[in-house]
Amino acid sequence: MPKKRSGGGLSPTQQAAKFLGVSVLAGAVLAGIALPAVGALGLAAKGSVESFDELPANMKTPPLSQRTTILDADGGQIATVFSRDRTVVPLKDVSPYMQKAIVAIEDSRFYQHGAVDMKGVLRALNKNARSGEVAQGASTLTQQYVKNVFVEEAGDDPTKVAQATQQTIGRKIRELKYAIQVEEELGKKKILENYLNITFFGQQAYGIEAAAQRYFSKSAKDLNVQEAALLAGIVQSPSRYDPVNDEAEATKRRNIVLRRMADVGDISRAEAAEAMKAPLGLKVSKPKNGCITAVKGAGFFCDYVREVFLNDPVFGKTKEKRAKVWNQGGLTIRTTMDPQAQDSAQASIKEHVYKSDDVATAASIVQPGTGKILAMGQSRPYGFGKNETQINLSVDQSMGGGMGYQPGSTFKPIVAAAALEDGMPANKVYSSPYQMAYPSPVSVCDGKTWRNSRTNPAKLENENKSEVGPYDMKEATAKSVNTYYVQMISDIGICPVTTMAKKMGVVRADGDKMPQVPSIALGTQEMSPLTMANAYATFASRGMYCTPVAIESVTQRVGDQTKSLQVPKSTCSRAMSEKTADTINTLLKGVVEDGTGKQAGLGSARASAGKTGTTDFRYAAWFVGYTPNMSAAVWVGDPAHKRKMVNITIGGRSYGKVFGGEVPGPIWHDMMVGALEGKPAPDFNLVHIPDGIDRDRDRGDGDGGGRDDGDNGGGNGLIGGLVGGNNGGGGNDPFPTPSFSIPEGFFRGQDNGGGNGNGGGRFG
């Protein structure tokens, strides 16, 4: 609002208002309130001057809440969200018919009187006195605008809304004083503009632009005379005159407005008569509010953007302040979502996993070196119906996701990176027996050691008996040999691994701390697809980890002004040396060329690398992979962690057992082919890794009845192969009975994604 009046004296307008407050304010001006006796007028008048003087000099005018528009990286609309559907427009963008219609029916003397229309007051007071009730109001358009400001300021608080609309003398006094101020400071045109933008027109539409779009699917500037009359008539009682639910009542009201427009000379009698014959001509657009309306299956990405806004301090120091900005709206949020990548992700998901399947899939794509989230999708759509969900299966619990899922062998490259950074040669050889007890003791971060049980030591196995070492790092990674990686983490200690994971942004989805136990080498800690995609992006960017970001820019429209807001920036830091990252890229390139991830590989035309993962009893299967310019993770499993993926139909295809390379792998492949189409195809900076052992020796390797990632041949294995099943090529019993007892406290319960297996050991 304009500046406050300086000095202690009363202006002529204020003097007039004070006089009015003493003489008629409690009676005539309050014609909208039924007062049964003259005595009441006298009692109301007593003290009205004091109440008037005690009111603040200036009315607070909160910014009007408006819709927020969320855009993809190319500027295409993803969704609109709002607490109140409103788009503020200048008066020049409102049809002249609309301007005339609202004035004619609500305050025909608007341009002749000041804040109070004394003729209207006396007329209303006389009629109300005769009837003994409120038969006619006398509020001017300016007073109605002021009341709407009070309602807007109350927001969605029912108590405050009631206070803003209650029929009391105190409210009328306040309304009058501010109406005088508004008339003096704004002028008629601006008051009319503000009124048209703030008023509720029913059907969730606030303001004339939203109303025009809702009822006629057109802009306010294009409304014809009968359309304008209909909307003007709704204002008095949006529920009673709702044209969607009561066409007859709305038509009567429209025709009253048309006659009134003719009476005051805005249109001719003939024009009014012609308009009255016209049908309502509704072309209703349903309210499109919230992430449920998002295009391209991007409802969960939209929801993630909302979570970022409400949780990041850059948008406000407290959660309450951030929520206030979000609810006020008027935001245009340009995101990092690549529409091509999003389309490809959803198309691949739809092709391979049906929303009605017993299990679901979720996928995320991230840009290495920037942290930009390019796509996010899942097979169960955003919604409230059958086979729909509002849980974002791609993200951590704190951002609207679930408890996460064990990543299985996709965690092994993080162990390898920690070992390489610790000085281990890339051709390191371990004995890698088929079965072994967890080595003991193993160092942990706090200077203590983890020790296996002496009386009943925890053991682990490879996929089948034919997997017998020695293996070097290249072959052990390609074949996902469990015992190799457990020997590795036992050799370097647990602390370097958890430290490397932290540097790569790898955290548990539920926010719990990563335990200091050797079984983490086998992927026992629950994580989200976005976490794993972004972690592997560190390899793709040659060792630079960048925090994930979803928002490129935010502008906010407040009144006639548009301002830019600060947005979260990705923070990049070196997690490992370029040599280490290049070595991992070389190792994981071998996985998609000659290892468990062949079905995911992108061929010779585009460099790719990745790792498969299948977890305890096939509750989850993964493929996490990348090219130099995109990194993505695909998870398949039961979010409730109840359905084992054996003897199961997924996407119309039957599977005896689900492997990471067999279901998630093809989803990843098809998704990345489409996402990368037309994009550059850079190469990795590969390194030469000399063989650590003689690969021509006769090792008697068999295929084990299905190769994947350390637990796909014979038995399923518990905690990534820690407890073995059928020993040998394929086996028939999918859930073998362990051949040894599991030490008490060996792992935490399996509810919702397994537990924190601790290797059955103790600390000393």
User: What pLDDT does 138 receive?
Assistant: 54
d(CA 282, CA 527) in angstroms, rounded, equals 50
User: What pLDDT does 499 receive?
Assistant: 96
- Please check whether residue 369 is in contact with residue 544, taking contact to mean a CB–CB distance below 8 angstroms: yes
Plot region of 266 (φ>0 → left; ψ -120 to 50 → alpha; else → beta) = alpha
**Cβ contacts of residue 39 below 8 Å, gap of 6+?**
none
Question: Shortest CA distance to 418 belongs to which of 584, 632, 585?
Answer: 584
User: What pLDDT does 620 receive?
Assistant: 94
- Please check whether residue 206 is in contact with residue 213, taking contact to mean a CB–CB distance below 8 angstroms: no
d(CA 13, CA 17) in angstroms, rounded, equals 6
Enter the tokens of residue 612: 């498969």
Mean pLDDT by 10 residues, the chain (764 residues): 39 44 42 37 40 53 85 97 90 97 93 76 57 54 88 72 68 78 88 94 93 96 97 95 94 97 96 96 88 93 96 94 91 98 98 97 98 97 90 96 94 98 96 93 90 89 85 94 95 96 97 92 95 98 98 89 94 98 97 90 93 89 97 96 94 94 96 97 95 62 37 35 35 32 35 38 38
Long-range contact set of residues 649-652: C-beta below 8 Å, sequence gap at least 24: 649/357, 649/358, 650/352, 650/353, 650/354, 650/357, 650/358, 650/359, 651/351, 651/352, 651/353, 651/354, 651/357, 652/354
d(CA 554, CA 563) in angstroms, rounded, equals 9
d(CA 520, CA 412) in angstroms, rounded, equals 9
Determine phi and psi for 611, rounding to 5 degrees.
Answer: -150, 140
d(CA 603, CA 534) in angstroms, rounded, equals 23
User: 366 - beta bridge partners?
Assistant: 373, 631
Burial (CB count <10 Å: 0-12, 13-18, 19+), residue 217: exposed
Residue in the block written with tokens 């691949």:
348
Chain center to CA of 505:
20
